[in-house]
Amino acid sequence: METVKNESNKHIRECPKGLIFGSDMDNESIEFTKTNLRNLPFGENIELNVSPFQELPKIENRVIVCNPPYGVRMMESSIKGLYNDLGDFLKQNCPHSEAYILFGKPELIPELRLRVHWKKTLMNGDIETKLAKVILR
């Protein structure tokens, strides 16, 4: 394990400001992320914003990684609406980007209303999730 870690650390490259940014509508989630980033090289170069994704500016020609709510605590109708909104946002505001979206409930994938390029099973802790790739035009 230590050997793998040391070998991987040799390949760490500089992450310039402006390359990676992240957002969440929940301030506490952003504060947790800031704490985690303090332990990473170049973590201070990652910009974070408290914002609903629906209000983010246009994201063009980027790689988007998204871990939306799994719908455990949300009403059936609001979780579907959230995935409809996410699909609309990606289609209308993220041209020439590719998005990797983690689904706690694979049955929500059609709620994006976008063509899914591929999906793969991924364990997130002990939760079996699906990672779906969407290519935006």
Q: Which residues bind ligand SAM (CB under 6 A)?
A: 24-26, 29, 52-54, 67-70, 82
| Choice between 3 and 121, CB closer to ligand SAM | 121
CA distance 78 to 61: 29
End-to-end C-alpha distance for the chain, whole angstroms? 41
Min dist CB 82 to ligand SAM, Å, is 6
DSSP 114-127: S--SEEEEEEETTE
Residue 124 CB, shortest distance to ligand SAM, in Å, is 9
The smaller minimum CB distance to ligand SAM, of residues 14 and 126, is found at 126
Taking the complex as a whole, how short is the minimal distance between the CB of residue 104 and ligand SAM, in angstroms? Answer: 7
- Spell 87-102 as b/e; 16+ CB within 10 A means b: bebbeebbeebbbbbb
| CB 54 to ligand SAM: min, Å | 6
**Number of residues that this document lists for the chain:** 137
Report the residue number, 53 or 132, with the smaller CB distance to ligand SAM. Answer: 53
Query: Smaller CB distance to ligand SAM: residue 21 or 70?
Result: 70
The helix, strand and coil proportions of the chain, stated in percent and rounded to the nearest 5, come to 35, 25, 40
Shortest Cβ 41–ligand SAM spacing (Å): 20
3-state secondary structure of 108: helix
Closer of 10 and 102 to ligand SAM (Cβ): 102
